[in-house]
């Protein structure tokens, strides 16, 4: 298991709605892969100003706490669709307090069940969100902005191995889906 999969300032990510999670996992079990963790519970707190200035700029700030893995992350996405940076933190409560001191407030809290698998240079995240369903995210992190479209094409090919096509592609973030509920 390598945390090198999560290094880079850009993330190419394709999210698919899973018609059948069991069928997806059957395909996964038939190909070479590594397990980072399975059935972790992730709690995300999204911060923004009262006026939602970050959202208006296509940016998000999230503090994520994961159990039982114990992983805690500070995640910033945007303004470009592929722009994403995350860093490990040791004290999520202090990070939340710091954001509040800077004038941010919790705008949305979301919980999901997540499993992460490595297939070659890519990572596949299988998520379940109550009320939204099951999803698979095919992704890679990189600092090489010139390779973003190449990686995107490779991810489409990898997803096709699982029987997923543009028909199942979900373009909305979990945040926007949750807010639309």
Which residues are designated catalytic? 46
Cβ 59 vs Cβ 53: under 8 Å: no
CB of 139 closer than 8 Å to CB of 14: yes
Instruction: Specify the residue for token string 């995300």.
Output: 44
DSSP-assigned states of every residue in 102-127: TT-EEEEEEEEEEEEEEETTEEEEEE
The CA distance from 160 to 137, in Å, is 13
Please name the helix (run of DSSP H) or strand (run of DSSP E) that holds residue 64, with its range, or none. strand 60-67
Give the integer Cα–Cα distance in Å for 24 and 169.
15
- How big is the CA angle at 180 (ends 176 and 181), to the nearest 5 degrees? 120
Distance CA 168, CA 89 (A): 34
């Amino acid at each position: 298991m390598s945390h090198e999969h999560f290094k880079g300032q850009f993330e190419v990510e394709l999210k698919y709605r899973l018609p059948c999670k069991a069928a997806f996992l059957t395909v996964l079990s038939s190909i070479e892969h590594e397990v980072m963790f399975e059935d972790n519970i992730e709690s995300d707190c999204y911060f923004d100003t009262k006026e939602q200035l970050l959202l208006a700029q296509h940016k998000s700030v999230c503090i994520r706490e994961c159990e039982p893995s114990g992983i805690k992350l500070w995640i910033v996405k945007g303004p470009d669709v592929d722009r994403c940076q995350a860093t490990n933190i040791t004290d999520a409560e202090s990070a939340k307090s710091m954001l509040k001191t800077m004038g941010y407030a919790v705008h949305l809290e979301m919980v999901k069940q997540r499993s992460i698998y490595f297939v070659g240079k890519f990572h596949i995240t299988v998520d379940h969100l109550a009320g939204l369903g099951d999803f698979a995210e095919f992704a890679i992190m990189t600092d090489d902005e010139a390779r973003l479209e190449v990686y995107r094409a490779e991810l489409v090919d990898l997803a096709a191995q699982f029987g997923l096509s543009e028909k199942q592609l979900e373009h909305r973030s979990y945040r926007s889906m949750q807010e639309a509920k």
